[in-house]
């Protein structure tokens, strides 16, 4: 999977809480229904405040499509919506479960301080 170093635009810089795992963000966005690129970007901003750059978004889309976790739908004019596949949903659940465990453990440690 592509590096996630340059995953957000400059406006997210300086925000220590921003989350930047483009493939996971795309999967989470598509979990609420098919979307095209621009709709995904806006939805991801609403989910976690991270605004993915267009290059980053399509890097993630191309690789998720390659892995069979999302699939393209018929284009609407020049915009092509994508939807999450059954495999993609399974991967999203697994990743979110891991994140949940990680978050729980992290909070426990913070509370113990």
Partner 1 sequence: MSPRLARLLTRLYPRLWQERYGDEFEALLLDGRGGPGTLANVICSALCEHLTPTQGGDMNRDPNSFSAILKHPSAFLPLAMSVAALAVIGVAATYSIFHYGHGLVREPDEGTAAHLWQLLMAGQLPVLAFFAIKWLPRAPRPTLCVLVLQAGGVLAAMAPVYFLHL
**Which residues would be at the binding site for partner 1 (CB under 8 A)?**
2-3, 6, 9-11, 36-38, 41, 53-59, 61-63, 65-67, 75, 77-80
Please give the Cα distance from 41 to 72 (Å, whole number): 16
The distance of closest approach from Cβ of residue 7 to partner 1 in the complex, given in angstroms and rounded to an integer, is 9
Is the Cβ of residue 1 or residue 47 nearer to partner 1 in the bound state?
Answer: 1
The distance of closest approach from Cβ of residue 21 to partner 1 in the complex, given in angstroms and rounded to an integer, is 16
26 neighbors 54 (Cβ within 8 angstroms): no
Per DSSP, helices labelled H in the chain are: 22-30, 37-48, 54-66, 86-112
């Amino acid at each position: 999977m592509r590096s996630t170093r340059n995953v957000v635009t400059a406006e997210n810089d300086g925000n220590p809480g921003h989350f930047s795992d483009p493939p996971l963000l795309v999967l989470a966005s598509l979990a609420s229904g098919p979307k095209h690129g621009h709709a995904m970007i806006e939805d991801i901003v609403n989910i976690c405040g991270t605004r993915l750059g267009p290059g980053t978004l399509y890097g993630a889309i191309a690789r998720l499509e390659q892995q069979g976790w999302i699939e393209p739908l018929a284009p609407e004019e020049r915009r092509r919506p994508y939807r999450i596949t059954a495999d993609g949903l399974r991967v999203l659940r697994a990743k979110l479960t891991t994140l949940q465990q990680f978050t729980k453990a992290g909070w426990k440690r913070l509370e113990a301080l």
